[in-house]
Structure 1
Amino acid sequence: SATQLLRDPRELVNGVVPAAGREGLAGDTPASTGASDFSCNGATLETPPSYTYKNASLVNFVYPECQEKMRTALREVRARFGQKHPLVIDGKEIWTDKLLKSVNPSAPDEIIGYVAEAGIPETERAVKAARRAFETWARTPVEERCQLLERAAAILDRRRFELSAVEVFEVGKAWAEADGDIREAMDFCLFYAHQMRLMGYPRLTQNVPGEESYQHYWPRGVALVIAPWNFPVAILCGMVTAALVTGNAVIMKPAEPSAILGSLLMEVFQEAGVPPGVLNCLHGRGSVIGAYLVDHPDVEMIAFTGSREVGLRIWESAGKTRPGQRELKRVVCEMGGKNAVIVDSDADLDETIVDTIYSAFGYQGQKCSACSRLIALEENYERVMHRLLAAAASLRVGNPEQPGITVGPVIDETAYHRIQEIIEKGKTEATLAFQATNIPDKGYFIPPTIFTDVKPEMTLSQCEVFGPVLSVLKARDLDDAIRIANDTDYALTAGFFSRSPANIERIKAELVAGNVYVNRSCTGAVVGRHPFGGFKMSGGGTKAGGNDYLLNFLVPRVVTENIMRHGFAPETTPERRAEFLWPPQLDAGLGTARRA
């Protein structure tokens, strides 16, 4: 039959038949391998469930039914404009006297909604709730924590068009960009659940007769998650799920411009069954509650994605030990980039131009991975520019509520004026080669802009713009291009277009970036396939969506036992064993009482 012909050959070799139609979402029970390689002080236990992780699919808006679902969602979300959303602390809705409003960057007079603004009292209450909840959550078995994430993924899938529509209004994303953000959030849920099942059980360090020595991991404690607005569901969800599945209690602070989406994600986890206090949602000013939480002695770790300026302040502050603090704070900091794409002399320009335009101007260039510098070799420069300028002229700028828009508004008035200042300064340093026209009068719209005659030392080459501005530099040869590309404080993404196998291999070895892409866009990392993150001033080298990302949220521990009994030892030592869960006695030791 067709079904038999399409079966994975590994199923036939291993004799493992996965659950029919498995998509990796909530309610699935992964197929057991049937092996028995677990031990609990000599007793064998069933192997933990396992399955092959699979990324969620993207919505294809070519199909009329998908377009209609999106239009319906946009109408329904618009009808809810002005709703108020509370803080969530210890599972309870908390209202305050102050509200923060969230507006539509395409039409700033439209208020998407309001959120309650937290002050220091609410923030302290959230820390205490998380501390209490941690003692129970840390002892919750790995499988239960993984299933919470899978239920959340299923709810995200069910609310996919609704959440995408909110992104269109609240942060100005085009349809496909908004859907991609929700898809990535689902992927984070499923991937981190999968990873935790693989690493969440004690594993034998070496097989030595007469001794069992197992390494395993415990959670860190209370994790603070500070998220950006540009991927308002995906990045927030990714950091939150990594902290939750590893057994930490979480205080999440969504970015102010995307506060409504933060509240909606909180609803998703509440529906999925997150226990009270395990996940708390605070809205407020970063300079007030964010700074307070970073300095708090009861916050063991901080996961941050955002600007270099804020990230460095967090890193510096977290390094100071304060009265009552018993843990060294762990900081996961993912910051910006000044990403370069090099075009070799023999590059396929059809491929190069399409991917460069998308990398530079997709979501208005408001991605830390966006192409900000295009470096073309001299012998190919004129051909590249001719094709690039023609392609840029085809960009559709407008309100992303309409299908087919490729460039929407920047996030707010502050960003609008900052980017305009960079463009005006660029006009005095370089040559303005292209600037789009037919820009909407209403809203924070910046025209896609291309500068040429840019030199490596100019502001346009060194400053992260975070807007629809592309700087084009000319290189003498590949040596010069690599030197220019690497000559920044950042090391996040980089790209190379070429047909030369030798040059491609050289680029793989010499480009200084956390993610190097060859003959494709330098944006659009996929969870599990492209672990994402940079170094230098782009971050601490962590890789979101990678096999080792969860280790940032854990502390390693080794338990060793002499198992010789009157000169005899078991013939075999199991590879893995049951969990060493967070011990109850720590409630009076390392838990709440330790900070009294």
Structure 2
Amino acid sequence: MNMLTKVSPFVNEPFTDFSKEENKKAMEAALAKVKAELGRDYPLHIGSKKVMTEARIVSINPGDKDEVIGRVSKADQALAEEAMQVALQAFESWKRVPAAERADYLFKAAELMRQRKHEFSAMMILESGKNYAEADADTAEAIDFIEFYAREMLRLSRINETQPLTKIAGETNNLTYIPLGVGVVIPPWNFPLAICVGMTTAAVVSGNTVLLKPASTTPVIAHKFVALMEEVGLPAGVINYIPGSGAEVGDYLTTHPKTRFVSFTGSKEIGLRINRLAAETAPGQIWIKRVVAEMGGKDGIVVDETADLQAAAQAIVASAFGFQGQKCSAGSRAFIVESVYDEVVEKVVELTKALQVGLPETNAPVGPVIDQGSYDKILNYIEIGKTEGKLLAGGGKAEGNGYYIEPTVFADVDGKARIMQEEIFGPVLAIGKAKDWKEAIAMYNDTEFGLTGAFFSSDEDRIEEALETMHCGNLYINRKCTGALVGVHPFGGFNMSGTDSKAGGYDYLLLFTQAKLTSRKN
């Protein structure tokens, strides 16, 4: 089938079952293949040019600090400016490419990534410290984003058919969604493929050109994606790969008069800085820059006395310690009503102590945190937690030649404590006691963030009230608060969690386009 005619219903990419020996062996083979490629030098991509620089970003394996993943060329302001000029020039032709043709590049990319799924996952296992399942889910989500946004662009290109304007006599009216211009895409390290791919392909399929500045801890997996887009024939200059310092390259491009939008996922502090810098009008700038920001969270799970307590405890542990708690959706807080508090805490501690910490390539349930800075920060928060709550599990470093930290549980933590209020972004869980389910919800809402949450109960009236009163962008009932699926759970949060951009949803591409109405007298 010609890709241009591909309009079959969207279906999420299935996850791999690694309990099956053939799948486990396939991943082991992919890891061996990727390991044979480690230590390479990677260039910048500026249009059709591949630029090697003396300055390099050295990516290391957080699970084995002696292993170099790759050395990635590092852009400076002069190279960032060159990339901007290339992107501006490429935009003039790319914006005229029909939506169906732009989508076609994405469909081809999704198919190629699907064929090499384990290789992409293996690179993430080594570069970001994900275990098999976490890396596989990341790659599946990347494929989902590519497919979903391609279909979304086709839908928007047919908007006059699907959402016709009100007709009046004597005129023909049409609404079209046209691209914005050159955008700066700054993805995070914690979903180094999925979010990088989603942010970039959404912008590109909408007709924009992109300056991609990947996270400095995971630049090699981003390069692997850029190389794939080049392989499927995406025109030079549509995606420009320019790793570099946030202070030097990131700030320069954010304040550039020709930057039309900035798409960012990362910390609250950097997101607010980008928003502030982008709000200033530079000389020669003729638009208001658009900022799309997802800035993290301090997410939590509420459990009442009618809940399935074992299921609740399992969800708490999975939400808190999946990928070492390094998800903006991670459930780092739990609020449990006092009548079942001790029972749930006991179950959580038992499940936490059963988690094994080890090298991701051996598929250990808990791996390393991303780098030395995170390692030191999390261990410092654990020391703070020892003064704010009762330590019941973990509490320190774990063995291994990497950034390993024990999954840590604190109980009897006050809602105003630092470990309840501040985003730690590591394997640290704080549990608080509530007199009843309403107080538990109030404690959950007492945060500057508002990304994800979960409510465990079997009482329908309480569930209905929780659905209305728990203030977050993604609320789940009787399941964990991580694991949003593209097209199923559009993802984005309130308050300091960002602009509620709802990635993987039907509104997302509107953020990278502008609506143009044309009216013609008959």
TM-score band by shorter chain is over 0.9
Aligned to 2:502: 543
Deviations 1:351-400 (A, max 9, x none): 21222111100000000000010000011101111111111111111111
Distance 1:189 1:468 in 2: 30
Structure 1 residue 276 corresponds to structure 2 residue 236? yes
Q: 2:520 matched to 1:558?
A: no
Q: CA deviation at 1:295?
A: 0.6
Aligned partners of 2:3 and 2:104 also within 8 Å:
no
Partner of 1:573: none
- Equivalent position of 1:89 in the other structure: 46
- Find 1:99's aligned residue among 34, 53, 56: 56
Aligned residue number for residue 33 of structure 2: 76
Equivalent of residue 383 in structure 1, options 338, 343, 346: 343
Q: Deviations over 1:113-150 (max 9, x none)?
A: 11011111110110000000001000000000001111
Larger-Rg structure: 1
Residue correspondence of structure 1 range 196-595 to structure 2 within 5 A: 196-201=153-158, 203=160, 204-403=164-363, 405-435=364-394, 439-563=398-522
SS in 2 for 1:376: strand
Mapped to 1, the partners of 2:15 and 2:394 lie a distance apart of: 31
2:145 touches 2:504 (CA, 8 Å); kept in 1?
yes
Contact 1:435 1:447 survives alignment (8 Å):
yes
Distance 1:370 1:437 in 2: 20
- 2:80 maps to 123
SS of 2:130's equivalent in the other structure is coil
* CA–CA distance in structure 1, aligned partners of residues 397 and 176 of structure 2: 59
CA distance in 2, matches of 1:401, 1:408: 9
Q: Secondary structure at the match of 2:499?
A: coil
8 Å CA contact 1:357–1:392 kept in 2: the answer is yes
Q: How does 1:182-201 map to 2 (within 5 A)?
A: 182-201=139-158
Alpha-carbon distance between aligned partners in 2 of 1:438 and 1:562, rounded to the nearest angstrom: 72
Which of the numbers 134, 153, 157 marks the counterpart of 2:110? 153
Question: In structure 1, how many angstroms separate the alpha carbons of the residues matched to 2:372 and 2:273?
Answer: 24
Q: Deviation string for 1:300-358 (max 9, x for gaps)?
A: 00000000000000000000001111111000010010001000111112221222111
Per-residue deviation, residues 245-270 of structure 1 (Å, max 9, x unmatched): 10001110110000111111111110
2:92 & 2:259 partners in 1: Cα distance?
A: 14
Shift of residue 107, structure 1, vs aligned partner: 1.2
Aligned equivalents of 1:301, 1:291: Cα separation in 2: 13
The separation in 2 between residues aligned to 1:437 and 1:217, in whole angstroms, is 52
Does the 8 Å contact 1:84/1:114 carry over to 2? yes
Cα contact 2:185–2:262 (8 A) shared by 1: yes
**Alpha-carbon distance between aligned partners in 2 of 1:325 and 1:526, rounded to the nearest angstrom:** 37
Dislocated runs of 4+, deviation >3 Å: 27-30
Distance in 1 separating the partners of 2:46 and 2:125: 28
Establish whether residue 144 from structure 1 lines up as the match of residue 101 from structure 2: yes
Is the alpha carbon distance of 1:208 and 1:335 closer, same or farther for their aligned partners in structure 2, counting shifts above 3 Å?
same
1: CA distance, partners of 2:187 / 2:127 = 15
- State whether residues 397 and 405 of structure 2, in contact with CA within 8 Å, keep that contact through their aligned partners in structure 1: no
Residue 52 of structure 1 and its aligned partner are, at CA, apart by: 1.1
Shift of 1:105: 0.6
| Cross-structure match for 2:17 | 60
One-letter code aligned to 2:513: L
The match for 1:587 is none
**Number of aligned positions between the proteins:** 519
Counterpart of 1:224 in 2: which secondary structure? strand
Code of the residue aligned with 2:198 in structure 1: it is G
Residue range with higher mean Cα deviation, 484-493 or 342-351: 342-351
Kindly indicate whether the alpha-carbon contact (under 8 Å) linking 2:152 and 2:506 is maintained by their aligned counterparts in 1: yes
Q: Residue 156 of structure 1 aligns to which amino acid in structure 2?
A: M
Q: Offset of 1:211 from its aligned partner? A: 2.1
Contact 1:344–1:478 (CA under 8 A) maintained in structure 2:
yes
Letter in 2 for 1:561: R
By how many angstroms is 1:62 displaced? Answer: 1.3
Q: 1:272 to 1:476 in 2, by over 3 A?
A: same
* Partner Cα distance (1:77, 1:215) in 2: 47
Gaps of 5+ in 2: none
Q: CA RMSD in A?
A: 1.2
- Give the partner amino acid of 1:406: P
8 Å CA contact 2:131, 2:323 repeated in 1: yes
Given that residues 4 and 101 in structure 2 are in contact (C-alpha distance below 8 angstroms), is that contact kept between their aligned partners in structure 1?
no
CA contact (8 A) 2:16 2:133 kept: yes
Q: Deviations over 1:18-50 (max 9, x none)?
A: x7xxxxxxx5454xxxxxxxxxxxxxxxxxx63
Distance 2:72 2:396 in 1: 36
Q: What is the CA–CA distance in structure 2 between the aligned matches of 1:355 and 1:518, rounded to whole Å?
A: 11
Give 1:208's aligned amino acid.
I
Provide the rounded CA distance (Å) in 1 between the counterparts of 2:58 and 2:137: 25
Q: CA deviation at 1:448?
A: 0.3
Secondary structure of 2:491's aligned partner: coil
- The alpha-carbon deviation at position 433 of structure 1 amounts to 1.5
Name the SS for the 1:256 alignment partner.
coil
Distance 1:94 1:315 in 2: 30
Cα shift at 1:438: 9.1
Contact map agreement 1:396 1:407 (CA 8 A) in 2: yes
TM-score (norm 1): 0.86
Rounded to whole Å, the distance in 2 between the matches of 1:125 and 1:462 is 42
Cα deviation for residue 562 of structure 1 reads 2.2
Paired position in structure 2 for 1:16: none
> For each residue in 1:160-191, what CA deviation from the matched residue of structure 2 results, as whole angstroms up to 9, or x when unmatched?
11111111111100011001111000000000
Amino acid at match of 1:500: D
Q: Which moved more, 1:441-450 or 1:357-366?
A: 441-450
Residue type of the alignment partner of 1:519: N
Task: Tell me by how many angstroms 1:500 deviates.
Answer: 0.8
3-state SS of the aligned residue for 2:249? helix
Which ranges of structure 1 fall in alignment gaps of 5 or more residues? Answer: 1-18, 20-26, 31-48, 564-596
**CA distance, structure 1, for counterparts of residue 411 and residue 11 of structure 2:** 42
Counterpart Cα distance in 1 of 2:204 and 2:437: 45
- AA aligned to 2:21 is P
State percent identity of aligned pairs: 42
